[in-house]
Chains A and B, each alone.
Chain A
């Protein structure tokens, strides 16, 4: 993970290494090398943690930086590839590949590209395979509630993907070929003058998909064609004013011919999915004085997904989701004096969704948000920093939210740093929870109605004589409140010596108002009617330990471990009161004991990853990465609604990935890699993990005189 060679002592004096990947050109701003977290020095600048440029070792909250070199040397193509190798992050499957951060579901991590949020979640999950990594400069991961700066969704943390036109080679081309006819092609151009920088990037990704499911001719991952283009313009209008424009278009075609064979009988269906994702942002930055600067940001994005499924013996199925998000925001940074810096922000969001799962796919459901935030940083000495922040979000469709956060840094000495943060994050009810109007004709004709209209819809059905029973939950239906999380993070960074570093982080997140699907009644037929209520309370807690050691100028080791405990507080209370049952091997029920409770599903107690890294001055490199995840509960088998030892678990597993390559002085670099060397397969629980796959790639970077 933390393959920071450029930082490490003697290595950083060997410039040949850098030629291959990044050519430093400090044309504008403070373009610098980006180091991974543990090896990073005070030069590494982070923007996500405070929404201002801060040196990594001055941050008060835990941040992980993944740089372009690590991504490239690991052979990572999509955002999921690199995130699954990070401490505290697990990949989830179902509705695309999402990530679980410190035990919290994908819904609770906001994903930003250059500071602007991505939209288009299905069941709360943003498919991170949508994001190509070919042109990015770095990824910043902030752990802990960050709603005080980012608003909704920033409950578990923030992942910000950053591209930068102001550095890099004028022309880069890459081509990769791998198992399952997976072809990934990149073309990146850059144009840099003294006051104008342009980056254009095109990525095309095609795969036949793979089949690892028994009894099925069909593929788990289906044939996919993805293309994506991004453009960035940075234009210095004057020495005090600059303008940044970012655009991104992605288009994804997924074709799925499903043929499931059971006992010689084959059922065919044809699925076609088309996803378009467009993002555009324009930002104007102006510096009034050394102490005062402001930026005006505008952003618009649309996510449009259409899914058609034709089954030979079933009804055709069509699913449409169109999500539109517009935002205007102003942020002003003011340095009151040497010790105090303040940030003020103000913005508005106009957001709308059209979906075939709502009462009409023609009508756009709308939510408007106005928000304001402020953050104050007090630095009385070089050793101590204190930051306080507060944000207020006012929503049209649901209750408003305040998000406070306090964080601090104490540098005991050059070896030891301590960070402490406590904050509140929130996640607004999403459109599905407000407006869903879905009846599953195929499976028992149950219905799910969004809370904003459940009572209205059910009252209509009752007038038609279709309602059998109304449950007590029906009368509890009201405007949904946001889900809240209170997070506490404590981090101890220990630079043992110039070659070794350790970081220990303790964390706890307490979540309340969890929005859960609850039965509110039945039809006359007995079929269930569901809606959403704020009822759940849960926690995730544990620690992360990360370490890094440079063996010599060529070899280094790094690794991370997460210990995680999770639980549903209401279920724990029920277990303690003796009203939760389980069955013994004979099938007799008995009262469940607390020590049989395993916590929230899909969470693993242990995750460990270790990376061995080799870099030679001649441009050769090799890395081997092993990732271990312990078992996790996937299904409630004994019907007691809590997850315990008697339930179904996915087995723990180890995946080993390796990549090696060589970069030549003429700008050509070659790479070959193997993922999942031990060929670990669990089709039901790890559909995103194909068996062993191979790839090889070639890349060319046009060299440019680096004499500026």
Chain B
């Protein structure tokens, strides 16, 4: 798995310089130094074959991820607060409720990644409740982050959907799912059945994590 570190904001020094130049003393803005990271091809319960019922078969695994440390967490640590978000096919968990012991939570924001500069104060973060099949990031096509097309059997991330995450340690992050297929490119509707089967369940996403506990990115 390849991690890309990309700074989207201007260089730190330049930010500070701009703030320093500001004459408006009553509104001194804390410089925003949150960087956006992109995670490529994160495997999430990839397909092992086709079942007799015509559905994809897989081992049923979950991939746990730490947004704080930007790395995969072993599934043996599933019951700890080491991870913030977890993926299993199209299901996304946060470290909360029935999923884990953390302070996590999430909600779906409609808008652009860059436009979400501050999490609205009245936002409520839902938690996972697997017994009621109710998750902070709702399951199903057309609900939280993706649509599934039964005709082409392809999963496409919904444009303008940001997953706002409360991490296991109670801090905030925002995520945009970019792609669900290996290599970060959604397959053509005419792609082979094999490609559709085995290239799915590879998440590419970008995220920003605010370590200072504020809701400002």
Residues of A bordering B, CB below 8 Å: 215, 260, 262-263, 265, 267, 313-314, 443-444, 468, 524-528, 579-583, 586-592, 634-640, 646, 648, 684
Contacts and interface: CB of A to CB of B under 8 A. Distances in A.
B54 A637 contact: no
Nearest to A591: B112
Interface stretch (B11-19, B72-80, B99-107, B154-162): B154-162
Contacts of B112: 581, 589-591
B194 interface: yes
A634 B194 CA distance: 23
A648 B152 contact: yes
Contacts of B63: none
B52 A589 contact: no
A586 B178 contact: yes
Interface in B149-192: 149-152, 154, 156-161, 176-179, 184, 186, 189
B1 interface: no
Nearest to B150: A443
Contacts of B53: 267, 313-314
B28 interface: no
B149 A265 contact: no
A589 B156 contact: no
Contacts of B193: 215, 262-263
Contacts of A267: 52-54
B189 A589 contact: no
A361 B5 CA distance: 61
Contacts of A265: 50-52, 54
Contacts of B135: 526
A635 B149 contact: yes
A526 B113 contact: no
B184 A588 contact: no
Interface stretch (B81-89, B117-125, B138-146, B207-215): B138-146
A444 B140 contact: yes
B152 A635 contact: yes
B132 interface: yes
Given A263-B193, A267-B54, A589-B112, A524 B132 contact: yes
B147 A639 contact: yes
B189 A582 contact: no
Given A587-B204, A588-B113, A648-B189, A639 B133 contact: no
Contact of A639 (B54, B158, B184, B194): B158
B176 A468 contact: no
Contacts of A528: 140
Interface string B13-47: 00000000000000000000000000000000000
B134 interface: yes
A334 B99 CA distance: 79
A638 B156 contact: yes
B142 A639 contact: yes
Contact of B156 (A525, A591, A637): A637
Nearest to A583: B159
B204 A526 contact: no
Given A262-B54, A263-B194, A587 B178 contact: yes
Contact of B176 (A262, A589, A638, A648): A589
Closest 5 CB pairs of A and B: A587-B178, A581-B160, A639-B158, A581-B159, A639-B147
A592 B52 CA distance: 42
B113 A587 contact: no
Contacts of A639: 142, 146-147, 156-159, 161
Given A636-B147, A637-B154, A684-B189, A526 B139 contact: yes
B150 to A, nearest CB: 8
Contacts of A526: 132-135, 138-140
Contacts of B152: 635, 648, 684
A639 B113 CA distance: 16
Contacts of B154: 637
Given A586-B178, A635-B149, A639-B142, 16 more contacts: A262-B50, A524-B133, A581-B111, A581-B112, A583-B178, A586-B184, A587-B179, A589-B113, A592-B159, A635-B152, A637-B147, A637-B154, A640-B158, A640-B159, A640-B160, A648-B149
